[in-house]
Amino acid sequence: MLRWILGGREAQSSVELQVLKGHFDIVRFLVQIDDFRFASAGDDGLVLVWNIECLLVLERLSVWVSGGEELCIWDQNFQLLCHRQKHSDTGITALIELPKNCIAAAVDKDIVIYRLMVSADSSVTLTDISRCTDHHDQIRALINVNDQIFASGSHAGELILWDSSDFSNLAYEHILWEESQSSCQSEIKLAAPKPSEMSIQHLTTNGRLILAAVGSGLYVYDVVTKAVVAYRKAAHDSNVLHTMLLSDSELLSCSEDGSVRMWEIQDLPLAAEPASAGFFGMWSFGRSSKQPGPQAKKVLEIPNLKTLELIGDLIGHSGAIQMFLSFKEKGLVTCSTDHLLILWKDGERQSRLRSQALFQKLEENGGL
Amino acid sequence: MTVSASAASHVSLSNNTMIGSPDVVAFTKEDEYGQTVPEPLDLPEEFSIPLHPVADSNPWAKTSYAKFTKDFILISEFSEQVGPQPLLTIPDDPKVCGTFDLNYFSLRIMSVDYQASFVGHPPGSGYPRLSFVEDSRVVLGDSKEGAFAYVHHFTLYDLEARGFVRPFCMAYVAADEKKIMLQFQELSLRFSQASECLKAGNRRAFAKELQRKLQDLEYTHSVLQREEGLQREAGPQCVYSAHTVEKANELANVEKSIYEHRDLLKQISAYHRRPRRDPHAVSCQKCMSECLRECEELLDKYAKLANPLSYRGSGRGLSVDGRGEEGADELDDEVIKRRPSYTPQLIKAKSAKCFDKRLKTLQELCEETFYEATVELLKETERSFRGDLCYLYTRRLDKTLRRKLNIVNFLFEEDLNDNIEDEAETLRPFCAVNHAIDNYMHLNPPHITLGSEDLELDGLNPQGPQDTACETTTTQELGLLGSHLESSPSDQTFETQESSEGTKSFSSDKSLTDHAEKQESLASVNTEGPDPDSDLTPEPDQNTYPERESSSEDMETTAGEDDCDSGQDQTPVSLLEVVSELEARDGDEREAGTRSDLLVPMDSACCMAQDGFLYQATDSDAVLCLSPNSNPNPTQFLVVNQEPHALQPIQDEYTVGSSGSQGPAAGLELPVGPLGDSVSRTSLDDGSDCTMSASTGSDRAASPLGYGASVTLRQRKKAGQGALRFVRQYSFATQALWCLLSGRTLVVLGADEGRVRRLVSALALFVPNPGKTGERVQPWLSCPFTLTDLHRWKLIGLQRVASPAGSSTFYSLSRYSRYISILDADMKTLRCPQYRGQLLATMADHRTYIRHGSTFFLHLQSTLCRLAAQAFLLTFTHHLHLPVSPTEGPEAVEFRRRCFLQEQLGLDEEDSHVLLYLSRLITQRYLQPANISCCAAVPYFSFNYITSILYKI
């Protein structure tokens, strides 16, 4: 998966970069539409629909979205069905759909569960049925793990698993890096880290594993065993903004430091070695070599703990990378505060496609 | 052309004592032409270096006695008042002709009056007739003066001239006879174009003049009529006084004159319907129809006037008094209403004596736009024939070859686009004026047509039963059409033959011969008149254009063969000629213009104008006169000389600012530190190889041709010097070059702008697909670059700044270090992936024996050209990219490609990268036009993760 993007050691493989210009401000979100289309939305109020095959801006929408302080329900025709007034000062930070017509909304430190009731006259009502209040800080991320479980992460690094049906707390994991409170974590007392270092920016899951972007680190948690699988505190130079699990062993993260990194969950070697930034023999003038510092010095006592090894990174953006979107072998799109989207493609595949096009054209033209 | 021709010329050369008459050089074709056609690409024998020195080994002996410094174009007239006189030379510079006696030469070329115009009334016709005389082309030599000329005779119409015609001639005068002989085709074509243009303008002017004359006559007629009426009223009815009779005669004369002029108008408007024997006389349909329309309007108008006139004329005796008067008044009014710009004048009964009147000048004989277009054409002709034969030939060969390689040309060759347009243009019937008007900015001066066979296809149509020479030519043309195998001493020859025959007994019975020819030509005109096959209506013509265009490629090659053939038939000519050297110097002077003062001492310093030497002088001197960021004046001067196409973007760049985006050109001209490098450069240049410098000297002779491509060629050659220095100075040069050739962006980092710019301009030679104006090269950048810049530029000159601002630059350098290679000009280090290939070792050998920049440039060009050809092969070989069977996976294809690269092309891993990159560029380029809105719109760059190594000197 996406191996090509890192280029094998054999020099033949290559990566192609294409810079997509269209936005005039920070590009925040990417949404995949189908196999080869995606939309990007930015602070400039534009939604652009792109085609990655021939890189065309297919559609240009200008949207204006009201803030997330109220909960509104819209139908397919964009008719407002019902809305609830705001709940707290911070408004709703995350929203997921749960089974049985339920909606979980993260409101400040609480998760509010609503039930959607469609009455006979087809009017929709929302009823507040439950409130989960186990978090001690603002909830930053909320995801469905699978049909039974959903998870939430807070600014203070708390990761809580909830049962989707009775909304009970299944597991509580406080990621304080080396000073984990859970019994299975090794205890390394450090000075209290700044909350921002522990803030869960993003959660992603493949149903079995939860990948949490915690500060500038990554944290992989197994839902089944309810235990941490692997983690790295300093995965990036700055806050991790978006992550993705490519497979059970590979993950991708992007950060404010402008890089996308690819990690592999590997069995712990005898002594964990820090991944070097100069992995590709980069030549550094100084700054960028501040890489994952020495970590995991202590012998970890968890039997199944593995390490996250950096296997490659993508550098191109000059600003924080907000989000990325994988099109599998077709490519990877990243969007950034530098107003650009970059499309990373497999050079080999592209050159093969171009060759095909060339001979096709040659045939059409009947020779040179 | 050929044996007899050269024989004749040798005769003429040896007979220097033959003073009395000009040597008419026989321009015959070889009938027993049975030689095999040599490979068109082979260097013809005459250009290869002879193994044994030829008996007449001094190559300069032949032309050294010419009294003029370079070829020029002379326009002369055979004035009916003062005889032959020169009118105009192109270039219009007295220095060009030197001590060469133009008057004398005019006399010579004009005295070969090929077919004087017919004067007076032909039997059986009541009115004077305009003679339609075809142009004739003769090659003349004046061995005494050391001058040879292609002479193009033509006539212009002038109402006041004897027989309404004034004979003129345009001559291309050169010291090298062979040059003229071998360029005959093209000279003929170009001069025909010029002549057609001039004649078209002349016809219009003539029609206008006729119109004015007719107005005058009508007016006079009306006045006379009134006077006569008055007299008749006053005098007794039946008695005619002498005065009355005189008036009546006068009236009759005026009427006759009116008829005559109307007939002339009719004749001139029928001009286009006339069959043309001259295959080159293809004129623009638009001009033709315009002129025709005008003439017909006039005709209509005067036909209308004619009716009441004739009515009155017939019924004059019976007419009621005063009626004519009224009628005349009406007429007058009508005329004045229609043409308020011209007030008719009374014409006196007796015209002024022949020698009293002032003859019109050439400008007056021709409409202004046409005249200017003609002069422009001739200037262009002069420009395109600069340089010696060898240079012209190689340039042509080069162009033909490059046209064939048009798919890969964009990689390393300079742009040929304008020339391709050219080709298309010359295939159309030429019209200088409409081009000049419609798209003046796109007027492409250099018409390098290799041959005129394409136009001769037209010649098939109008050729009626003519003399035998013409017929043989026709068959030959057919042969040409069929096989392209024959050389083409085309049908101009027959005129030359005629005239050469005619001049055998030249001094004694010139008039007789002339008369005979006259009759003959007239007869042919007359008989051809009703020939149904010979109409030059637009439709069939236009039908033939696409055919011509499609076959243009072949035509070109044929012409190339022609040169080969004819070249081989003649005795080997020396490679270099004094003329060209002189021209080289002269051209440089002209071109350099502002820096000519710098060049003056060079002339005396060395007779072989050496590339580097000259430039160096200017360069180091430029330091004195230019501040580092000022507009590089010399360049701009060059730029102004360019044709508008290329001019546009470059000038833009100059106006943008110094550190903005100047092309590599700008880098070349940038002032250099007065010491430092220029010193080392001198030492490099001192041991330059003479032969090369000499031949490039002739190259430069033509480089001031004044169009885009050649200017960049100049700059590229100059960059060759820099590249050579780079290769010799830096031991890791091959690594850097490999980066450029394999598409890895190279950043040249340095604190000194001049040094960085020089390095960049030298290295720019190696950037594949640098773009027309070098868009892919950024010679000087002083801000941190971003990823998008890497998309745009493959070679960047980056300022090293020590300030905090510099740290961000360094940050970007380190951040993107995986995509770039960094050449530190100050520390003389290079960080880039390792290169172990052999390819570049031969291309840029650190210990190369090449000492001269332009030699090195040529060496590079040939190597790069070969690379491009290999890349072409790689790109368009199907099985190297796509599976041959459905079962085959990409690995098999990959393996095959690798095998091809390594075993068949013998390239190492790294060398393969170069080829793959070039191939990718070709693919991209080839796909581009079709889906310009898609992939091409978004540039991409690709990279490999390869470890970089730091190299030090």
Per-residue pLDDT tens over the stretch A279-288: 443 333 333 3
Rounded CA Rg of chain A: 22
Pair B268, B209: CB distance under 8 Å: no
Residue B679 has pLDDT above 80, yes or no: no
Q: How far apart are CA B253 and CA B127, in angstroms?
A: 13
Residue B879 has pLDDT above 60, yes or no: yes
Q: How far apart are CA A232 and CA A253, in angstroms?
A: 12
Which residues 6+ apart lie within 8 Å of B663 measured at CB? B649, B650, B653, B773, B774, B775, B777, B779
Collapsing DSSP to helix, strand or coil, B441 comes out as helix
Kindly determine whether residue B926 and residue A20, on different chains, have CB atoms separated by under 8 Å.
no
Q: How far apart are CA B880 and CA B883, in angstroms?
A: 8
Residue B154 has pLDDT above 60, yes or no: yes
pLDDT confidence of residue B632: 38
Question: Which residues does chain A have within 8 Å of residue B742's beta carbon, measured at their own beta carbons?
Answer: none
pLDDT confidence of residue B644: 36
Residue A185 has pLDDT above 70, yes or no: no
Band (B17; pLDDT cuts 50, 70, 90): very low
* Residue range(s) defining the domain that contains residue B251: 199-363
Q: What are phi and psi of B538, to 5 degrees?
A: -60, -35
| Averaged pLDDT, A287-314 | 57
Q: Is residue B924 part of a domain?
A: yes
Higher model confidence: residue A157 or residue B516? Answer: A157
Higher model confidence: residue B680 or residue B770? Answer: B770
pLDDT confidence of residue B416: 55
Residue B397 has pLDDT above 60, yes or no: yes
Q: What are phi and psi of B46, to 5 degrees?
A: -65, -20
Q: Is residue B605 part of a domain?
A: no
* CA neighbor of A36 nearest in space, from A327, A265, A269, A251: A327
Nearest to A18 among B810, B931, B940 (CB): B940
C-alpha distances in Å from residue B870, one per residue of A323, B306, B408, B860, B915? 43, 75, 10, 15, 7
Nearest to B923 among A20, A345, A355 (CB): A355
- Whether residue B938 lies within 8 A of chain A, CB to CB, comes out as yes
Which residues sit opposite A110 in a β-bridge? A107
Question: Of B338, B363, B388, at which residue does a domain stop?
Answer: B363
Kindly determine whether residue A350 and residue B876, on different chains, have CB atoms separated by under 8 Å.
no
Pair B299, B207: CB distance under 8 Å: no
Which residues sit opposite A231 in a β-bridge? A219
pLDDT confidence of residue B412: 79
Q: Return the percentage of chain B with pLDDT > 90, whole number.
A: 1
Q: Return the percentage of chain B with pLDDT > 70, whole number.
A: 50
Collapsing DSSP to helix, strand or coil, B341 comes out as coil
What mean pLDDT value characterizes chain B?
A: 63
pLDDT confidence of residue B711: 46
Residue B906 has pLDDT above 50, yes or no: yes
Number of domain units in chain B: 2
Q: Is residue B132 part of a domain?
A: no
Higher model confidence: residue B409 or residue B650? Answer: B409
Q: How far apart are CA B584 and CA B596, in angstroms?
A: 13
pLDDT confidence of residue A367: 74
* CA neighbor of B412 nearest in space, from B893, B871, B79: B871
**Distance, CA of B709 to chain centre:** 13
Residue that has been written with the tokens 């070349």 in this structure: B668
Pair B382, B73: CB distance under 8 Å: yes
Residue B179 has pLDDT above 80, yes or no: yes
Q: Is residue B269 part of a domain?
A: yes
| Averaged pLDDT, B277-301 | 66
Question: Which residues does chain A have within 8 Å of residue B946's beta carbon, measured at their own beta carbons?
Answer: 11
Kindly determine whether residue B818 and residue A20, on different chains, have CB atoms separated by under 8 Å.
no
* CA neighbor of A339 nearest in space, from B317, B138, B788, B852: B788
pLDDT confidence of residue B433: 52
Each residue's pLDDT tens digit, A322-357: 888 888 777 888 888 888 888 888 877 888 888 888
Give alpha helix (H) positions in B235-357.
Answer: 242-269, 285-314, 323-338
Kindly determine whether residue A283 and residue B933, on different chains, have CB atoms separated by under 8 Å.
no
In the 3-class helix/strand/coil scheme, how is chain A assigned residue by residue?
A: CCHHHHCCCCCCCCEEEEEEECCCCCEEEEEECCCCEEEEEECCCEEEEEECCCCEEEEEEECCCCCCCCEEEECCCCCEEEEECCCCCCCEEEEEEECCCEEEEEECCEEEEEEEEECCCCCEEEEEEEEECCCCCCEEEEEECCCCEEEEEECCCEEEEEECCCCCEEEEEECECEECCCCCCCECCCCCCCHHHHCEEEEEECCCEEEEEECCEEEEEECCCCEEEEEECCCCCCCEEEEEECCCCEEEEEECCCEEEEEEEEECCCCCCCCCHHHHCCCCCCHHHCCCCCCCCCCCCCCCCEEEEEEEEEECCCCCEEEEEECHHHCEEEEECCCEEEEEEEHHHHHHHHHHHHHHHHHHHCCC
Longest dimension (CA), chain A: 74
Q: How far apart are CA B78 and CA A345, in angstroms?
A: 75
Q: Is residue B912 part of a domain?
A: yes
Domains annotated for chain A, with CATH where assigned, are 68-341 (2.130.10.10)
Collapsing DSSP to helix, strand or coil, B87 comes out as strand
pLDDT confidence of residue B708: 36
- Give the total residue count for chain B: 953
* CA neighbor of B635 nearest in space, from B593, B598, B600, B597: B593
Question: Which residues does chain B have within 8 Å of residue A6's beta carbon, measured at their own beta carbons?
Answer: 945
Higher model confidence: residue B689 or residue B92? Answer: B92
Chain B: give the shortest CA distance to residue A102, in Å: 44
Q: How far apart are CA B670 and CA B692, in angstroms?
A: 26
Q: How far apart are CA B169 and CA A21, in angstroms?
A: 63
pLDDT confidence of residue A55: 54
Find the closest chain A residue to B890 by CA distance.
A352
- Residues A25/A27/A29/A30 CA torsion (nearest 10 deg): 130
In the 3-class helix/strand/coil scheme, how is B627-662 assigned residue by residue?
A: CCCCCCHHHHHHHHHCCHHHHHHHHHHHHHCCCCCC
Kindly determine whether residue B890 and residue A14, on different chains, have CB atoms separated by under 8 Å.
no
Pair B915, B899: CB distance under 8 Å: no
Q: Is residue B894 part of a domain?
A: yes
pLDDT confidence of residue A306: 79
Find the closest chain B residue to A347 by CA distance.
B942
| Averaged pLDDT, B82-98 | 82
Question: Which residues does chain A have within 8 Å of residue B786's beta carbon, measured at their own beta carbons?
Answer: 318, 338
Residue B553 has pLDDT above 50, yes or no: no
Kindly determine whether residue A354 and residue B930, on different chains, have CB atoms separated by under 8 Å.
no
| Pairs of CB atoms within 8 A across A/B | 122
Each residue's pLDDT tens digit, A107-164: 778 888 888 777 767 677 777 788 888 888 888 888 888 888 888 888 888 888 888 8
pLDDT confidence of residue B114: 53
| Averaged pLDDT, B589-604 | 38
Question: Of B363, B397, B421, at which residue does a domain stop?
Answer: B363
Q: Which of B944, B949, B951 to mutate to test the interface with A (most CBs of A within 10 A)?
A: B944
Find the closest chain A residue to B788 by CA distance.
A19
Q: How far apart are CA B760 and CA A105, in angstroms?
A: 59
Pair B776, B794: CB distance under 8 Å: yes
Pair A325, A39: CB distance under 8 Å: no
Q: What are phi and psi of B567, to 5 degrees?
A: -65, -40
Band (A84; pLDDT cuts 50, 70, 90): low
Band (A35; pLDDT cuts 50, 70, 90): confident
Residue B55 has pLDDT above 70, yes or no: no
| Averaged pLDDT, B737-741 | 89
Q: What are phi and psi of A190, to 5 degrees?
A: -125, 170
C-alpha distances in Å from residue B54, one per residue of B46, B143, B576? 12, 21, 14
Q: How far apart are CA B694 and CA A260, in angstroms?
A: 59
Residue A70 has pLDDT above 80, yes or no: no
Q: Is residue B53 part of a domain?
A: no
Q: Which of B915, B940, B941 to mutate to test the interface with A (most CBs of A within 10 A)?
A: B940
Chain B: give the shortest CA distance to residue A121, in Å: 50
- Whether residue B816 lies within 8 A of chain A, CB to CB, comes out as yes
Nearest to A318 among B407, B786, B935 (CB): B786
What mean pLDDT value characterizes chain A?
A: 72
C-alpha distances in Å from residue B357, one per residue of A307, B203, B214, B353, B360? 109, 21, 19, 7, 9
Residue B118 has pLDDT above 50, yes or no: no
Query: How many Cβ atoms are within 10 Å of B690's Cβ, its own excluded?
Result: 12
Q: How far apart are CA A261 and CA A243, in angstroms?
A: 9
Which span out of A230-239, B128-137, B462-471, B629-638 was modeled with the highest average pLDDT?
A: A230-239
Chain A: give the shortest CA distance to residue B875, in Å: 8
Chain A: give the shortest CA distance to residue B477, in Å: 29
Q: Return the percentage of chain A with pLDDT > 70, whole number.
A: 68
Pair B910, B837: CB distance under 8 Å: yes
Higher model confidence: residue A265 or residue B15? Answer: A265
- Whether residue B791 lies within 8 A of chain A, CB to CB, comes out as yes
**Which B positions 396-425 lie with beta carbon below 8 A of chain A?**
407
Give one word for B676, left, alpha or beta, with left for phi > 0 and alpha for psi -120 to 50: left
Kindly determine whether residue A315 and residue B926, on different chains, have CB atoms separated by under 8 Å.
no
Q: Is residue B910 part of a domain?
A: yes
Higher model confidence: residue B672 or residue B831? Answer: B831
Q: What are phi and psi of A112, to 5 degrees?
A: -105, 130
- Whether residue B881 lies within 8 A of chain A, CB to CB, comes out as yes
Question: Which residues does chain A have within 8 Å of residue B879's beta carbon, measured at their own beta carbons?
Answer: none
| Averaged pLDDT, B896-920 | 87
Pair A259, A265: CB distance under 8 Å: no
| Averaged pLDDT, B468-496 | 38
Collapsing DSSP to helix, strand or coil, B23 comes out as strand
- Residues A5/A8/A10/A14 CA torsion (nearest 10 deg): 0
Nearest to B920 among A12, A351, A356 (CB): A351
- Whether residue B808 lies within 8 A of chain A, CB to CB, comes out as no
First to last CA, chain B: 60
According to DSSP, residue B128 is labeled -
Residue that has been written with the tokens 């070989």 in this structure: B877
Q: Which of A4, A259, A318 to mutate to test the interface with B (most CBs of B within 10 A)?
A: A318
Q: Which of A36, A330, A355 to mutate to test the interface with B (most CBs of B within 10 A)?
A: A355
* CA neighbor of B670 nearest in space, from B766, B782, B799, B779: B779
Kindly determine whether residue A361 and residue B941, on different chains, have CB atoms separated by under 8 Å.
no
Q: Return the percentage of chain A with pLDDT > 90, whole number.
A: 0
Q: Beta A332-336 vs A321-326: how paired, if at all?
A: antiparallel
C-alpha distances in Å from residue A42, one per residue of A241, A326, A340? 15, 18, 10
Question: Of B311, B338, B363, at which residue does a domain stop?
Answer: B363
Collapsing DSSP to helix, strand or coil, B782 comes out as coil
Query: How many Cβ atoms are within 10 Å of A183's Cβ, its own excluded?
Result: 6
**Which B positions 906-925 lie with beta carbon below 8 A of chain A?**
909, 913, 920, 923-924
pLDDT confidence of residue A177: 62
- Which H helix or E strand runs over B320? none
